[in-house]
Structure 1
Amino acid sequence: MAAVARILARRIVLLVPLMLGIVLFVFLVMRFSDNDPASAYYQGANPTQEQLHEFREQNGLLDPLPVRYLAFVGDLLRGDMGFSVLNRQPVVEQITTALPLTMQLTFLGLGIAVVLALLLGVTAAIWRDRLPDQIIRVVSLVGVAAPGFWLALLMIQYLAVDAGWFPTGGYINPGDSLTGWLKTMTLPALALSLPVAAQLIRVVRTAVVEELDKDYVRTAIGSGLPPVVVVGRNVLRNALINPLTVLGLRVGYLLGGAVVIETIFSLPGMGKLMIDAVKNGDPAVVQGVVLTTAFGFVIVNLVIDVLYLLVNPRLRGA
C-alpha cells in the first residue's frame, strides 16, 4: 500500500498544472465569447452605456486579462464561482443543487454499463465463435452505433407512452419515494449507459479471449481447477486493465451525455442548468458547470489509475 500511496501522491501533484490549464482554457474561452455579463444583467431593461460601464467596472471586467485570471483563480480557491447575472444566486449554490442528480444518473448508468459489459463480455469470450458470441457481438455493434438521445426517444415512445411502464420525464427524490426515484431514473440511465456498455462488451470480450489463450489458463484447467474459478480468480483480474482504460475515457461521455439526456427527460440536473444558462446568456453558470464537469472527469481518471494498481500489482513497480 505504500507504493500505491506514493504513486497516488505523484498523480495528485501532476493534477495541479492540469487543473490550472483547464481553468485557463475555460477562462479564455468565456472571455472571448460573445456573451456579455453586463448586458445579461440588465436583460430586458434597456440599460444606458453608463450603467453598462459601471457594472463592468464594479465587477472587474475592465481590468487587464492577467489580473482577471488571477482574481478568477483566487475566487475558485475560495470556492467562489461568481453569481448568476439572471437570478443573482451564487453559482456554487445552483451547482450544489443540480450536481447530486447528475451524479445519481451518471453512476447509475455507469453501474448498468459495467454489469452488462462483464456479464455479456465474459459470456461472449467463453462461447467464442458460437451462437451466444455471435448474438452478443451483433447486439453490441448495434449499441455502439445507436446514439443515446435516439435510444431515449425510443424508450419514451415504447416504454413510457405506449406501455406506460415508466414516466416520460420528471424527477422524484429517493428520500420521498425510492420506487418513484427508480421509475424516473431507469430510462435515462439506460439511454445513457447502453452505448457505453456496448463498447465495453467488445473490449471485455477481446481482453478475456486473449487471457483464455494463455498457457497458465490451460495449465490451471488441466490441473483440475473448475473453469469458473480460473476465470473469476485469474482471467478477469488480468483482463480488466484495458476495459478500465476505456471505462475511464467513457466516464467523460457519461458526464457529457447527461446534458442531453437530462434535457430529454426534464431532469433538473447539471445538463438542464447548462442548457438554461446558454439560452439565457448567463456566462458565470456556464463557466461553473463546465469547470465542475472537467474537474469531475479528472478526478474519475485519478480513481481509475488507482484501480489499475489494485487490479494488477505488477504495475506498481513500473
Structure 2
Amino acid sequence: MGTYLLGRMLGGLATLICVSALAFFATALAPGNPAAVLLGNMATPERVEAVTRQMGLDQPLPTRYLIWLRETVQGNLGTSNLSFKPVNDLLMTALPPTLQLAFSSLIIAVVIALPIGLLLAQNERRWWSRPVSALITVGISVPGFWVGLLLIITFSVWLKLLPSAGYVPLSRGVWGNFRSMILPVLTLTIYLVPPLVRFVRMTALEVLREGYVDTARAKGVKPSAILMRHVAPNTMITTVTYIGLQLGVLISGAIVIEVIFSIPGLGRLGMNAVLNRDYPVIQGVVLVAACGYVLVNLLIDLAYVLIDPRVRTQ
C-alpha cells in the first residue's frame, strides 16, 4: 500500500512540474508584449523597453522559467500586471467561492446520482426505466449555461425569489451566502447528475451480470440486499475513478457558471486575466487548478485503499 501511494504522489509531482512548464511557456510565447499592455496609451518604445527590463522579460525563457519556478516554490506567484496586487492575495480571495461551488455541487450530484443509477439498473425492465433513461440522455445534451439562464429567468425574473447574480461570503451571513449560491450550485448539479447517473447505471448492470450475483439470487437473497451488499460496493470502485476523471468537466463547468452568475471565483479571475493578458494571474490560476486536480486524485487513490481490499496488498 505504501508503494502504491508513493507512486501516486510522485506521479502527481511530475504532473505539477509539467503543468507549471506549460503554463509558463504558453503565456510567455503568447503574442503581444505584457509591458505594452501594462502601459496602455502611455506606451512608447523607450517606456516599453524600460518596463520590459524591469519585469525581467528581456532574459532568456529558460532563465525566466527557473526564476519563476524558484519563486513559486517559495510561495511567491508574483504581482498582477493589471491590479498590481500580489497574485497570492487574488487567489486566496477567489478560491473560497470556487471551492464552495464545486464541492457542494459534486457532493449533491453524487448523493442524487448513485441511488438513481442503481435503481435504474435493478429495474431495467420496468416500464418507467426507459422514460427516465431518455430523460437522462436529454440532460446530458443540455449545456450548463442554458440551464443557468433558465433558472435565472424562472427564479429571479419571474418569481423574484432568488438573486440572479453576485456572491455573499459566509463572513457576511449564512443565509445571504446560501441564497446567493442556490442557483449556481443547482445549475452545476444539474450539469453533473445525468452523466454520472448513466455511468452508475452501466456499471451496475455489468455487476448484476456477474456470477456471484446469480449465486446470491439462487440462494434466495432479496433484491434489495443484493443491491446493497454486492452491487453498490463494486459499483463504487469504478464510480470513484469516473468522478476523478470528471474533475476537468467540473472545473470547466464552474468557470462558465461563475461568469454567468458573476461569482468572483477562480474561473472569473482567470477569464479576466486572459482578456487583459495578465500573465502572472493566468499562471497562478492554472497552477492552483492543477494542484487541486492532483490533490483530489490523491484523495481518490486513498479512497481506493479503503474501498478495494486488493489495493492494500500492493
TM-score (normalizing by structure 1): 0.93
Answer whether contact 2:145 2:257 (CA < 8 A) is retained.
yes
TM-fit CA distance, 1:236? 0.9
Matched residue, 2:20: 23
Give the corresponding residue for 1:58: 54
1:281-296 equivalences in 2 (<5 Å)? 281-296=277-292
Q: Structure 1 unaligned runs (5+)? A: none
Distance in structure 2 (CA, Å) of the matches to 1:130 and 1:34: 58
- Residue 133 of structure 1: which of 94, 105, 129 is its match? 129
Cα distance in 1, alignment partners of residues 224 and 81 from structure 2: 59
Say if 1:283 and 1:35 are closer, same or farther in 2 by CA, change over 3 A.
Answer: farther
Identify the residue that residue 3 of structure 2 maps to in structure 1.
6
Deviation at 1:274, TM superposition (A): 1.4
User: How many residues matched?
Assistant: 314
The 8 Å contact of residues 16 and 287 in structure 2, kept in 1 or not, is answered as: no
Q: Is the counterpart of residue 276 in structure 1 residue 296 in structure 2?
A: no
SS across alignment from 1:169: coil
CA contact (8 A) 1:120 1:136 kept: no
Distance 1:14 1:271 in 2: 26
**Contact 1:211–1:239 (Cα < 8 Å) also in 2:** yes
Q: Distance in 2 between matches of 1:125 and 1:165?
A: 37
| Mapped contact 1:140–1:201 kept (Cα < 8 A) | yes
Residue 75 (str. 1) matches residue 71 (str. 2): yes
- 1-structure distance, mates of 2:304, 2:141: 29
Describe the superposition over 1:239-285 as per-residue Cα deviations: whole angstroms up to 9, x where unpaired: 12222222111111111221110110011111221122222221111
* Structure 2 segments unaligned to the other structure (5+ residues): none
- 2:99 aligned with 1:103, yes or no? yes
CA distance in 2, matches of 1:271, 1:35: 23
In the alignment, is the contact (CA less than 8 A) between 1:112 and 1:190 conserved in 2?
A: no
Identity of aligned residues (%): 37
Tell me the secondary structure at the aligned position of residue 313 of structure 1. Answer: coil
Q: Does 1:211 align with 2:211?
A: no
Distance 1:23 1:80 in 2: 14
Q: TM-score, normalised by structure 2?
A: 0.94
**Whole-angstrom CA distance in 2 between matches of 1:129 and 1:227:** 14
Corresponding residue of 1:36 = 33
The answer to whether the 8 Å contact 1:309/1:316 transfers is: yes
Large movers: runs of 4+ above 6 Å:
none
Partner of 1:152: 148
Q: Could you tell me which residue of structure 2 aligns to residue 178 of structure 1?
A: 174
- CA gap of 1:225–1:129, structure 2 versus 1, over 3 A, is closer
User: For the aligned residues, what is the CA RMSD?
Assistant: 1.8
Residue 153 of structure 1 aligns to a residue whose secondary structure is helix
For residues 92-136 of structure 1, the C-alpha deviation after alignment (integer angstroms, 9 at most, x for no partner) is 110010011100000011012111211210111121121232132
Q: Which amino acid aligns with 1:209?
A: L
Structure 1, residues 284-315: CA drift from partner, whole Å, max 9, x if none?
11121122112212222222222223211123
Cα distance in structure 1, aligned partners of 2:32 and 2:70: 23
The one-letter amino acid of 1:33's match is A
In structure 1, give the amino acid aligned to 2:53: E
Taking CA–CA contacts closer than 8 Å with sequence separation of 6 or more, which of the two structures ends up with the larger relative contact order? 2
